[in-house]
Amino acid sequence: MAFLRRHRHEAPAPDETLPEAGPEPAVAAAPEERLLAYDAYGRAVSLTRDEYRERVLPATLRKNWDNPPGLYGAIVQGLRDDFSTELLEASERLVAIDPDAERAATARGIVLMKTGDLAGADEVLTRFHGQHEPSGVILTNLAKVAAERGDHERAHELLAEALHVDPNLENGLLWWAALAREREGEEAYLGALVEIAGVPGSWRPQLWLARHRLDDDDLDGALDLYRDVLEHAADQSDALLMISGDLGNAGHVDQVFELVLPRYIPERHALSVGFNLLNACVQSGKWVEGDALLHRIGLLNAPHARDQIAVFSRSLDDLKAAELGPPQAPEGEDSPTIVDVPRPLWHTYLGRPDWLLPATPRRATVGILTLADTFGEHIGGAPEPPTSAVGLARSLPLVLAEALLYTTDTEATAVLPVVRGVGPAVAAEGWPGEDIIDLGRTEGAELDYIITGAITQTEQATAVRLDLWDIQQGAAVETLAKEGTADDAGTTLLDLGQQLASRLVNEGKATALAEATHYTVPSGPLLDGYLAASDQLLALTLATEGLTEAEQLVGEREMLNNLLALTLADRHVLLPKLVFLTALVLNRSRGSSIYQEYRAPALAMADAERDPATDGFAVTAIAYHLFDRQDASEARRAALAEAGRQDVADWLASFQ
């Protein structure tokens, strides 16, 4: 991945010279006359120019109509997206309300120039110039007006005056240097930069001169210039961006760490600077430094940065995994420990919301034991998709136990062998019958039945088998098997498991429950996503409970991103919300603050819920607790109580 840098010989149009517009925009121009916008969850939305003009731009301007900085930022973004006529009224409004007269006059002048009203632009800019101290940005735009009118001599004079007032105007400087090159060549270009570098307070010309030295392999000369720049402009994003980009692209990554990293402040500087630094971390294998920096950037909760953060996170995770190697079991603890999960993991870690579970007496106890992968034993490892044998072997017990909990009166428990310090164990040839029987007769954890089985996966097909073991009889009493594709394996296994439970119902050992409230057995893409989510949630749970080493956990952001995506795929389904919020709670419980990187989407999810009668309204209030929105949490509890859901309000009040 290349470092971000300024183009060397292309001067941006000077009429785009604007003062700082605040935070980086969340909208950027995309090819084929479409604009790319981002919602609060970080999802990209592609709009045609007409859609953006009619729906987004007017709403943004109205939202900021009485807010000068916000209105200015909206105008700037509109100009970047090549709108102009649509900004006439807003720029006039800005002149009327903005206490920063220079900012307002600049925006108004540029909008008028863009619409072809050179006389109007000249009047606005000239009036400001006559009433205030000289302004580099105003003079530069007056120079542009002169150039548009064909008065190039006057434009050159105004541009020279502008740069002697403010030698660090990017567009003005590059226009100045480009004019010199056009007249007399490369030496004149460098001479023009040197001239402006001599103006007191200058630092931007030195950056371009330093690039020239790097191109000539004069690293020491470039570093001298960079150090001088940083003495005066370490707070300038453009300075840090160009230094990090040029040094990185020249292969001098160590100097990037020396000069830029200590000065970078995510809350102040452009995201592009942080991405250059992350790129340097990846290239140099510094995953510890990179992860710390990534977290600082993630805490900004910038929607338009979420995809790029995910890319860097994956790269840093790969470096971490390669350096740490596979986890090892503590000496003498390489035999699996049996972990029983009698209720869904989300129920345990979301304060035990019993109101979400069927209120029915339980009868037969059924354990769902981790399945086997006939191609080999697996211990630990990262979560895997539900199309893989290992991923299915680990996740099916959790999903099937939950399904039986809601559809029958069995006491269904996921039974998961885990090697301490390493992770879940998946056997190779299936669990020996005597071990299954012994497991079911464990004192204090006796089971009436155990469901387990095996998965055989080839490139051509995936064969699955489930066995129902009657512990009292000491034998398998039914076996169901089916062959199909890897894509269908999850659906097949869940269906086979429910068929085995139906046998217990038919024999009078269990009762099928009426249509479940709060729950629908997942199917199709939701089932695939929920199986994957269950494997991921298991990994996070084991790390939180100390059964695996938290320091060895790799890919937590990737898991959280997947869980968020599953939640957003169908906003009306409850289960994904439960697992996403549980993952955030687990992260916080472990003492990590990665969950804070998901503040914006979690709160947006909660704010979107408006109906107190829905379960989503209740459970998403956990986000208010996680992110210290006490007033919102109390308001939601009051709304639940008023809607006659006092038990739910009490649960929310007790959540810690």
Produce one character per residue of 75-86: b if its CB has 16 or more CB atoms within 10 Å, e if not.
bbbbbebebbeb
Q: What percent of the chain has pLDDT over 70?
A: 95
C-alpha closest to that of 141 among 12, 18, 22? 18
**What is the spatial distance between Cα 192 and Cα 197, in angstroms, rounded to a whole number?**
9
Tell me: do 243 and 372 sit in the same domain. no
Tell me: do 318 and 341 sit in the same domain. no
Using the 8-state DSSP alphabet, how is residue 357 labeled? Answer: S
Tell me: do 223 and 253 sit in the same domain. yes
> Please, which pLDDT band fits residue 10 given cuts at 50, 70 and 90?
very low
Mean pLDDT (the chain, rounded): 92
pLDDT at 608 over 50: yes
CA distances from 457 to 80, 385, 461, 465, 527 (A): 53, 14, 6, 12, 19
pLDDT attached to residue 8: 44
**Any domain includes 109:** no
pLDDT attached to residue 342: 95
Look up the CATH number of the domain holding residue 389. 3.40.50.10070
Side chain identity, residue 207? L
- Which of 293, 325, 357 delimits the end of a domain? 325
- Which of 325, 354, 374 delimits the end of a domain? 325
Q: Which structural domain range is residue 592 located in?
A: 550-654
Tell me: do 383 and 514 sit in the same domain. yes
> 381-433: per-residue pLDDT in tens?
899 999 999 999 999 999 999 999 999 999 999 999 999 999 999 999 888 99
**Tokens 């600077």 correspond to what residue?**
273
> 162-195: per-residue pLDDT in tens?
999 999 999 999 999 999 999 999 999 999 999 9
Cα 514-517-518 angle, rounded to 5 deg: 150
**Any domain includes 186:** no
Tell me: do 222 and 244 sit in the same domain. yes
Residues ≥6 apart with Cβ < 8 Å to 286: 257, 280
> 191-231: per-residue pLDDT in tens?
999 999 999 999 999 999 999 999 999 999 999 999 999 99
Tell me: do 312 and 355 sit in the same domain. no
Tell me: do 489 and 637 sit in the same domain. no
Inter-residue contact 598 to 564 (CB < 8 Å): yes
C-alpha closest to that of 474 among 435, 511, 501? 435
Tell me: do 214 and 297 sit in the same domain. yes
**Any domain includes 131:** no
**Any domain includes 115:** no
Least confident piece of the model among 98-102, 148-152, 328-332, 493-497? 328-332
pLDDT attached to residue 2: 55
**Any domain includes 619:** yes
Tell me: do 310 and 346 sit in the same domain. no
pLDDT attached to residue 166: 97
Mean pLDDT of 638-651: 96
> Please, which pLDDT band fits residue 126 given cuts at 50, 70 and 90?
very high
3-state class of 512 per DSSP?
strand
Tell me: do 350 and 491 sit in the same domain. yes
**Any domain includes 148:** no
Both tokens of 117, joined, read 């009203």
Prediction pTM value: 0.89
pLDDT attached to residue 654: 92
Tell me: do 396 and 262 sit in the same domain. no
pLDDT attached to residue 655: 86
C-alpha closest to that of 509 among 408, 360, 413? 408
When computed from its CA atoms, the radius of gyration of the chain, rounded to whole angstroms, is 31
| First-to-final CA distance of the chain | 43
**Any domain includes 164:** no
Tell me: do 302 and 451 sit in the same domain. no
Domain tally, the chain: 3
Using the 8-state DSSP alphabet, how is residue 335 labeled? Answer: S
> Please, which pLDDT band fits residue 517 given cuts at 50, 70 and 90?
confident
- Which of 498, 518, 538 delimits the end of a domain? 518
pLDDT attached to residue 6: 45
> Please, which pLDDT band fits residue 1 given cuts at 50, 70 and 90?
low
**Any domain includes 403:** yes
pLDDT attached to residue 13: 38
> 318-360: per-residue pLDDT in tens?
999 999 998 887 777 778 999 999 999 999 999 999 999 998 9
> 368-392: per-residue pLDDT in tens?
999 999 999 999 989 999 999 999 9
Inter-residue contact 174 to 193 (CB < 8 Å): no
Least confident piece of the model among 109-113, 174-178, 479-483, 515-519? 515-519
pLDDT at 503 over 90: yes
pLDDT attached to residue 284: 96
CA distances from 513 to 235, 396, 492, 495, 575 (A): 65, 21, 22, 17, 19
> Please, which pLDDT band fits residue 74 given cuts at 50, 70 and 90?
very high
Q: Given the DSSP bridges, would you call strands 449-457 and 411-419 parallel, antiparallel or unpaired? A: unpaired
> Please, which pLDDT band fits residue 5 given cuts at 50, 70 and 90?
low
Cα 365-548-593 angle, rounded to 5 deg: 110
pLDDT attached to residue 287: 97
> Please, which pLDDT band fits residue 20 given cuts at 50, 70 and 90?
very low
